[in-house]
Amino acid sequence: MTIKATTTRDLRKNFKRIADDVADYNDVVFIARPENKNVVLLSESEYNSWQETNYLLSTKANRDALQKGMTQSHSSKSLTPEEWDKLTEDND
C-alpha cells in the first residue's frame, strides 16, 4: 500500500490511472481541496477492511478477546498443529 497525494485538477486529468492504482495496488490517495476540505480515495477492499476493523474493535468484549488472543499468540500459548490434532481426535 502506497499513500499518495494529488490535487483535484490532477485527479480529473488522470482519474483512470489513479483509480486503477488504487484498485490494483491498494494505494490510498489524499486529494487536496480548497479550504482544507480534503478527501481520501481508497479501494473498496481497503474500505471493507477498515469497516471490519472498526466493527471488531467496537465493543469492549471484542477488544478484550482480540487482546487476549494476541497476548497468547505472542507468549506461545497457542496450540501447535499436533496438539490441535490430538484435541480433535480425543473429541471424536
The domain segmentation of the chain, as residue ranges, is 3-44, 59-90
Residue 1 has a pLDDT of: 80
The C-alpha atoms of residue 38 and residue 33 are separated, in whole angstroms, by 5
**Residue-by-residue DSSP string for 16-76:** HHHHHHHHHH--EEEEE-GGG--EEE--HHHHHHHHHHHHHTSSHHHHHHHHHHHHHHHTT
- The verdict on domain 3-44 having CATH code 3.40.1620.10 is yes
Whole-prediction pTM value? 0.66
Residues whose CB is less than 8 angstroms from the CB of residue 23 and which lie 6 or more positions away in sequence, other chains included: 43, 44
The pLDDT value recorded for residue 86 is: 84
Per-residue pLDDT of the chain (92 residues; tens, 9 = 90+): 889 999 999 999 999 999 999 999 999 999 999 999 999 999 999 999 999 999 999 999 999 988 988 888 788 766 788 888 888 886 65
